[in-house]
Amino acid sequence: MSATANVTKVDFYEVLSVSRDASDQELKTAYRKLAMQYHPDRNPGDAAAEEKFKECSEAYQVLSDADKRAAYDRYGHAAFNGSSSGNGGGPFGGGGFGNAQDLGDIFGDLFGEMFNMGGSGRGGHASRVQRGRDLRYDLTLEFEEAAFGVEREIKIRRSEVCPDCHGNGAARGKQPVTCTQCGGRGQQRFQQGFFSVARTCSVCGGTGTLIVDPCATCVGETRVQTEHKILVKVPAGVEQDTRIRYQGEGEAGKFGGPSGDLYVVLNVKAHKFFERDGDDLHCVMPISYPQAALGTDLEIQTLEGVETLKIPEGVQSGREFKLRGKGVPHLNERGKGDLIVEIRVQTPTKLNRHQKDLLRELGETMQVENTPTSRGILDKVKEMFN
């Protein structure tokens, strides 16, 4: 019987020099440091460094995946020692599908090969281009500013392409190097039965390159945070929650990707006198009983100044009068809404003796038959069914 050599693999946590309860960010930081230290491009011809690089890459590939990490914590290296012809050993062994993500990769490869699709990383190089995130800015306006429009300068913080490395993340005079793990493709392929499974490269994160000498300004992140000023032009007639889009004013993209957009969301303060309904304005104007009985001329404050409203004799409380064109301008159109004034006849609550005597005298000259002049809706409904 021939002897079999037993090779003991180093614990993955020890490989990365992290504790067993290390967070995802701690794992990433530790791996990045080791990958840069032992990368073959920085250690040409050093077989030991290359082996160390592969060892830490394998450790990170397992520990950065929640399912694989849980299996490793439970079974150790045995979790991945299955037979290639079947589901042997541990939960990630052999020809079975490791997780749901594998299924997505498999079917993606099938469709990509059947229809010769490219550009997404299926069956070819992974696309590094990433669009920047959209940003939101909440801008509060006075009622009149929303009605007539206004220009406001705002300040936003956003990421922009690093001015020193121009977005490649490498130090001046340097360039990102091709990832030796995936050969610059950004993906690693594995054969599982009939299928070829493509997974994002665990070393370069799908970019196909590694930043060995990071830029001092952006520390290899390719972008930097800056404060930016933008002149917001609010058109006349905007309403609450109106969104104004500024294309390309969001976060900068990565690897030559387009910038995101900026959305300025408007919050309009309430007016102390007017209520808005679309482009029309509503207000309530109190008048005294003598004014209602005899008629009067009222001075009405509009958004553009004072207007005179003629109230006829005998006006009843609740009647509405319309001042045309004294409302809010139509958004991006000509013309304006109307101002609708509701008359409210006020009944005095406190009278002196002389005022009471005058009202009594007036009352004696006026005869009003105190009988109902209309019926409620409920009475009418009852009558219909009787």
Strands 262-268 and 275-277: unpaired
Q: Is 215 annotated as a binding residue?
A: yes
Query: Could you give the C-alpha distances from 266 to 120, 137, 152, 240, 332, in angstroms and in order?
Result: 38, 9, 12, 6, 16
Nearest alpha carbon to residue 303 among 253, 344, 354, 339? 339
Return the sign of the alpha-carbon dihedral for residues 377, 378, 383, 386: positive
Joined together, the tokens standing for residue 337 give: 């809404």
Q: Is 218 annotated as a binding residue?
A: yes
| Rounded Cα gap, residues 229 and 154, in angstroms | 6
Query: What residue type is assigned to position 322 of the chain?
Result: K
- For residues 147, 150, 155, 160, the Cα torsion angle rounded to the nearest 10 degrees is 100
Q: What is Dmax (Cα atoms) for the chain?
A: 133
Q: Is 56 annotated as a binding residue?
A: no
| Rounded Cα gap, residues 242 and 11, in angstroms | 57
Q: Is 201 annotated as a binding residue?
A: yes
Q: Is 283 annotated as a binding residue?
A: no
Ramachandran angles phi, psi of 109, nearest 5°: -65, -40
Report the DSSP beta bridge partners of residue 233: 151
Query: Could you give the C-alpha distances from 260 to 132, 136, 152, in angstroms and in order?
Result: 4, 11, 21
Binding site, annotated residues: 162, 165, 179, 182, 201, 204, 215, 218
Binding site, annotated residues for Zn(2+): 162, 165, 179, 182, 201, 204, 215, 218
